[in-house]
Amino acid sequence: MKYVRMPIEIESPEQMGYSNLKYNLTESSFSDFKFKDLNLNLNELILCYGDHVGNINLRKLIAKSAADTINENNVLVTAGAATALFIIATSLLEPNEEIVVMRPNYATNIETPRAIGAKIKFIDLKFEDQWLPNLNDIKSKISKNTKLLSITTPHNPTGAVLPKNLFYEIINLCEENNIYLLCDETYRDMSYVEKLPSAASISKKAISVCSLSKTFGLPGIRIGWLITQDENLFEKFLAAKEQIMICNSVLDEEVAKQFMQNKDSIYKDVMKKIKKHFEIVSSWIQSEPKLEWVEPQGGVVCFPRIKKTIKIDLEKFYKTLNSKHGTFVGPGHWFEQEKIYMRIGFGWPTTDELKAGLECISRALDESVE
């Protein structure tokens, strides 16, 4: 494995120190919950090694939220979606083997195959295509050597959601070509359009990945999961998990389990805030003459760009935005894109912080016109 630190991690708010960011619009999750707000009872918890697959009651809740056809034996609990993605990539790819993956993407979906030394063929998503892939383009990238096709929906950093027919066509394509589909559905619960089924519930070839970090603002408990109906594959993934970590933290799993028992009531409040913040960003973009976007269909991020007709000194823009206005976004290079693109996270900040941060982006743009 050739590990290289990714810009999105080196420049992340955790590494810069949250207190150094006045308006933090870099986050891709809902606001982090406080322990005391979760009303948990942990006193009887025994701090033993846990079930290697994951707490059984937690797995039952996850299976239920995925699909009727999924049961607890199809669910492997992992330390966040990030570990699930790592387990899948390292289990299914060898150096020089082929993966077809969307770009831009959540950086790990590209970087882990790269670290393995896999041959990567990109589905380069474009603003002009609403950040959606084209089936013929995907077909043209698949060869007899392809092992894995990797998609993300709802998508990070753009918020695009695959149309249902395309989603099914992609699954069929994987079955026809006998390749695995990795579907990163970390934002599945956060669709503003019709929620897609969990990919793993449709086909044995599809592996779904999800987590509590993004929609539910619980990144600190590091609980995610993968789902597959393929028993042999499941066994392989479990072997990988056991070699990496044996089992999850039982404390994290217990928090996750109790949280998921209450998830539906919390979810309503989450979506209320997301809707409100989406409207704020939407009206700001419409009134901001220097930016354009593809309206997100899910998630808590959008990926607008500076209009190509507007000449901005990009270095000056980001410097002014960060140093003078204390405002931070995810610049395009976090996602292997030009810096005219920026990811704006609107689910994490308070309403006042969001409004002030957006205003600062407008000011920094005005101050950086060439």
Ligand X SMILES: Cc1ncc(COP(=O)(O)O)c(C=O)c1O
Binding interface with ligand X (CB under 6 A): 28, 80-82, 106, 152, 156, 184, 186, 211, 213-214, 219, 224
110 versus 202: smaller Cβ distance to ligand X: 110
Closest approach, Cβ 313 to ligand X, in A, equals 29
Nearest to residue 131, comparing CAs of 161, 164, 100, 99? 161
Distance CA 106, CA 81 (A): 11
Burial degree of 314 (CB within 10 A; 0-12, 13-18, 19+): middle
Burial of 10-33, coded b for 16+ CB within 10 Å and e otherwise, reads ebebeeeeeeebebbbbbbbbeeb
- Which is nearer to ligand X, 184 or 288 (by Cβ)? 184
**Which residue bears the tokens 């309503």?**
268
Q: Which is nearer to ligand X, 24 or 28 (CB)?
A: 28
Report the 10 Å Cβ neighbour count for 253: 23
Least CB distance to ligand X at residue 296 (A):
13
Residue number with CB closer to ligand X (228 or 320): 228
Minimum distance, C-beta of residue 214 to ligand X, in the bound complex (Å): 6
Closest chain position to ligand X (CB) = 80
CB of 156 to ligand X, least distance (A): 4
What is the smallest separation between the CB atom of 229 and ligand X, expressed in angstroms? Answer: 21
Instruction: Round to whole Å and give the CA distance between 365 and 180.
Output: 43
Q: How far apart are CA 85 and CA 3, in angstroms?
A: 15
What's the closest the beta carbon of residue 365 comes to ligand X, in angstroms? 26
Residue closer to ligand X by CB (options 188, 325) is 188
Nearer to ligand X, 256 or 364 (CB): 256
Element at 241 (helix H, strand E): helix 231-245
- CA nearest neighbour of 160 among 294, 339, 314: 294
DSSP class of 369? B
